[in-house]
Amino acid sequence: MAKKIFGKNVNLDLDETIKPEASALIIVDMQNDFCSKGGHYDKCGKNLDAIKEIIPNVSRLIHHARERGVLIVYIQNTQSSNGAFLSSPAIAHMLKRWKDESSLSYTLEGTWGHQIIDGMKPQEGDFIVKKHRPSAFVGTDLDMILRSMGKGTIIVTGVITEGCVESTARDGWLRDYYVVVSEDCIGSSSPELHDAQLKIMKETYHFVVPSKELLRKW
């Protein structure tokens, strides 16, 4: 039930916060380069086990969200072959720090690695937002889409927990959205960083809950 705070109706429980007509399911970077064998992460030797574990959960959540009329927004990390999106001095500094010489060659638009993984493809009526920075709100029309569609809640899923998932959740919070994180629908190649970030999320955002809680409410 909503409560009056500072003269505004404020949702304090999960039921009100994730009403289908007010919510958008955000699927961050579930792309072959991050999630699939033969993709960029796999070639870099990163452990994909935890990422693969969330795929059935995310797929199930998408299916039920569509059935209930929840807006579906896919986020696609997108780079260009000439490195234009990663060529600023500040970004170049981070690439050197990460010692990842292949960072300019992942999620290149038009490649298999850029595509959303099989079994989770967008359907008619879904939105696809291409981003060039960790946050899906930076330099994109995500905020305009959500506000135009009357959505005040974002339900964040995808990869990587401590990277693009966290950046997108935080930017949504800073833009006055209710932020719900589905904890068994986010993943990382680093269990330590995933656990640390999840702990921070639970202290920061409105709700961090397993997907079964969302399905039960819907």
| CB 168 within 8 Å of CB 136 | yes
Q: What is the Cα–Cα distance from 192 to 7, expressed in whole angstroms?
A: 42
Q: Taking 70 as the threshold, does the pLDDT of residue 68 lie above it?
A: yes
Mean pLDDT rounded to a whole number for the chain: 91
Tell me the C-alpha distance between 71 and 146, whole Å: 9
pLDDT of residue 161: 98
Confidence of residue 3 (pLDDT cuts 50, 70, 90): confident
d(CA 77, CA 67): 26
Q: Where are the beta strands (DSSP E) in the chain?
A: 2-5, 8-11, 23-28, 71-77, 127-131, 153-159, 178-187, 207-209
Task: Note the pLDDT tens digit of each residue in 7-30.
Answer: 778 878 999 999 999 999 999 999
pLDDT of residue 85: 59
Which tens digit of pLDDT belongs to each residue from 143-175? 999 999 999 999 999 999 999 999 999 999 999
Nearest Cα neighbor of 149 from 13, 25, 58, 14 is 25
Closest CA to 194 of 154, 214, 164: 164
Specify the pLDDT at position 79. 85
Q: What is the pLDDT of residue 12?
A: 83
> What's the pLDDT score for residue 198?
97
- Res 9: pLDDT: 81
pLDDT score of 100 more than 60:
no
In the CATH scheme, what is the homologous superfamily, with its name and number, of domain 2-217? Isochorismatase-like (3.40.50.850)
Distance CA 69, CA 153 (A): 14
Residue 149: the pLDDT is 97
Instruction: Output the pLDDT for position 130.
Output: 97
- Per-residue pLDDT at 104: 58
Would you please indicate which residues are annotated as catalytic (active-site) residues? 29, 131, 164
- Higher local confidence (pLDDT), 3 or 115: 115
Per-residue model confidence as pLDDT tens digits over 178-211? 999 999 999 999 999 999 999 999 999 999 999 9
